[in-house]
A and B are shown apart, each in its own frame.
Chain A
Amino acid sequence: MGEKVRVRPDMPPGHIRTPAYLRGKIGVIERTLGPFPNPEQLAYRRQGEALPLHRVRFTMAAVWGAGAEHPTDTIEAEIYAHWLEPV
């Protein structure tokens, strides 16, 4: 718990399970799960590469900036390893 990561800011086409509102945002890894097969490959009937799945915790301030409803509230989401880069 605690490693700081940034979600890749990319917007590629295809079946992506990284929510768009979290792309480019910085959070910390809460726990690591998996490995699970990559859904971006499974969606096209390819063999899904086994990837770690990280639960990443973001503050509302990090996600919504000055428009956050309550800046210290938090959001956690599951993000596949290839969508995260170290900060």
Chain B
Amino acid sequence: MPHDHHEHLSPSRHPFRADNDVPLTYWQAMEIAVRELLIEKGVTTAAEISGQIDTMDARTPANGAAVVARFWTDPAFRDAMRTDASAATREMGFDIGPMKLIAVESTAELHNIVVCTLCSCYPRNLLGLPPDWYKSRAYRARTVREPRSVLAEFGVVLPTSTQVRVHDSTADMRYIVIPARPAGTQDWTQEALAALVTRDSMIGTGLAKSPKALA
């Protein structure tokens, strides 16, 4: 590896990241202490904890995309989602646990966007772990105050004739946005449609991709 004068850059030309040599915070230390005690007392095991982390990491927006594609194409499923979205998605194998799910449908006239101003409530069973920005103070504070400006920064500029509806996920419900189905997809299979459904389109910070975007 040639050593040149750019010693602060890695071989891939990125700056080296400083090591995380800072003391643990109070709550980090507390988490480790409680975890070690629970293992020591036989309440749980390290394998169980890593298994649970694996389960959490395995959930991805592909789950939600399958739900949206089925909603677009299967009228019986659409009715079931409108009646009880928790039960309808559980039947597909995406159990939301004790929380309740509401599907909100976006159209040309109404655009839905989801935020949790109090913390970071998110339909993890359908979308996996939330992106970092979803938990940021800026996204949480600004989405209820100026959703159109936030949307514009995500590249979504809506006409004033489209109503924006912000869903503040404050309590026991979780929300998934059913984005408007893109034009020109009448004969598409559920599997092909699911490829158009992005994570952001199910949070409401994006739209479903148009068929052209896939080409």
Contacts and interface: CB of A to CB of B under 8 A. Distances in A.
A74 B109 CA distance: 13
The size class of the interface chain B forms with chain A is: 20 to 34
B45 interface: no
B167 interface: yes
B31 interface: no
Interface residues of A, number: 24
A84 interface: no
A75 B144 contact: yes
Contacts of A44: none
A79 interface: yes
Interface in A18-36: 18-19, 21-22, 33-34, 36
A68 to B, nearest CB: 9
B44 interface: no
Given A33-B172, A78-B171, A78-B172, A69 B163 contact: no
A77 B168 contact: yes
Given A17-B118, A69-B145, A75 B170 contact: no
Given A17-B118, A19-B118, A73 B166 contact: yes
The CB with the most chain B CB atoms within 10 A, among A33, A78, A80, is that of A78
B146 A69 contact: yes
Nearest to A73: B164
A46 to B, nearest CB: 17
A57 to B, nearest CB: 8
A70 B170 contact: no
Nearest to B144: A75
Contacts of B166: 73-76
Contacts of B172: 33-34, 36, 53, 78
A62 to B, nearest CB: 13
B158 to A, nearest CB: 9
28 contacts: A17-B118, A18-B170, A19-B144, A19-B170, A21-B144, A33-B172, A36-B171, A36-B172, A53-B171, A53-B173, A63-B144, A69-B146, A69-B147, A70-B148, A70-B160, A73-B147, A73-B148, A73-B165, A74-B165, A75-B167, A76-B165, A76-B166, A76-B168, A78-B168, A78-B170, A78-B172, A78-B173, A79-B171
The 10 closest A-B pairs by CB, nearest first: A78-B171, A77-B168, A73-B164, A69-B146, A75-B166, A36-B172, A74-B165, A78-B170, A77-B170, A17-B171
Interface of A: 17-19, 21-22, 33-34, 36, 39, 53, 55, 63-64, 69-70, 72-80
